[in-house]
Amino acid sequence: MRINLKVWRQKNQNDKGHFETYVLNDVNKHMSFLEMFDVLNQQLIEEGKDPVAFDHDCREGICGACSMYIDGRPHGPLQGTTTCQLHMRFFEDGDTITVEPWRAKGFPVMKDLVVDRSAFDRIMQAGGYISVNTGNAQDANAIPVEKQDADEAFDAATCIGCGACVAACKNASAMLFVSAKVAHLSRLPQGDPERERRVQKMVAQMDEEGFGNCTNTGACEVECPKGIKMTNIAKMNGEFIRANWGSESSIPG
């Protein structure tokens, strides 16, 4: 396959950035999208040029690192698929593919296709955890959990924090990500003692990071590679109202 790549190149956060076009003449249709980029980078290195910087780790759709905006969609044209799971057989010989980084204030571009997603880490550090006493782990069935609650918590926990929801949203909102983390823990008895502080602190940190507001357009759910549902946003809003009911302070001391 012959593929034309239109790739965003940016030296650092202060660089204006621009698109560069590359031609690959012998792309195997069974390659993954990231393997195709490996071939591109090998070609650039052999030509004495700077390779394209992009994030990757597990290449199994688990880590969420492979954040590429491909032909106007986060992770590319296939629904429920991360960039590393996208294969070249879904493109045609002679196609021109445009590849960009995530575009969001909360995800500043570091270089080329690499963005700083540490804002998600800070949101999690603000409240996306439970506090437990040290010691031996409890047996798996020691705390009874309703099946529906367990199923919904598990579904929310499949969020890999890739940021596709932010990239897809016209407001660069992180509500789907944050709500998945809040909903996951609020549906389990282990997360109940800190549920009020959790939602308050995580929402406050999300706002501080500069993410936009949710206007329920639904693009986040459509583009999420793990199928996280917008019902989690409704759950988080309910948790936030519950936490602030009768409270003058948005965050308890």
- Percentage of the chain modeled with pLDDT above 70: 96
Q: How high is the pLDDT of residue 138?
A: 72
pLDDT tens digits for range 191-216:
988 999 999 999 999 999 999 999 99
Beta bridge partners of 4: 23, 96
Kindly report, residue by residue over 212-234, the tens digit of the pLDDT: 999 999 999 999 999 999 999 99
pLDDT tens digit string along 70-97?
A: 999 999 999 999 999 999 999 999 999 9
Please report the pLDDT score of residue 41 as a whole number. Answer: 98
Which tokens sit at 148? 């529906």
Mean pLDDT in residue range 97-115: 97
pTM for the full model?
0.92
- In 3D space, the residue among 182, 176, 207 whose CA is nearest the CA of residue 194 turns out to be 182
pLDDT reported for residue 252? 46
Q: What proportion of the chain, given as a percentage, has pLDDT over 90? A: 88
List the one residue out of 80, 95, 75 whose CA is nearest residue 32: 75
What confidence score (pLDDT) does residue 142 get? 82
Domain boundaries, the chain: 3-110, 117-244
Rounded Cα gap, residues 1 and 89, in angstroms: 9
Quote the mean pLDDT of the chain.
Answer: 93
More confident residue, 74 or 139: 74
CATH of domain 117-244: 1.10.1060.10
- Confidence band for 253, pLDDT divided at 50, 70 and 90: very low
User: In terms of DSSP bridges, do strands 3-9 and 96-100 run parallel, antiparallel, or are they unpaired?
Assistant: parallel
- Helix, strand, coil percentages (3-state) for the chain, rounded to 5, are 40, 15, 50
Q: How far is CA 158 from CA 83, 154, 172, 177, in A?
A: 17, 7, 21, 11
Find out if CATH 3.10.180.10 is the number for domain 3-110.
no
pLDDT at 247: 56
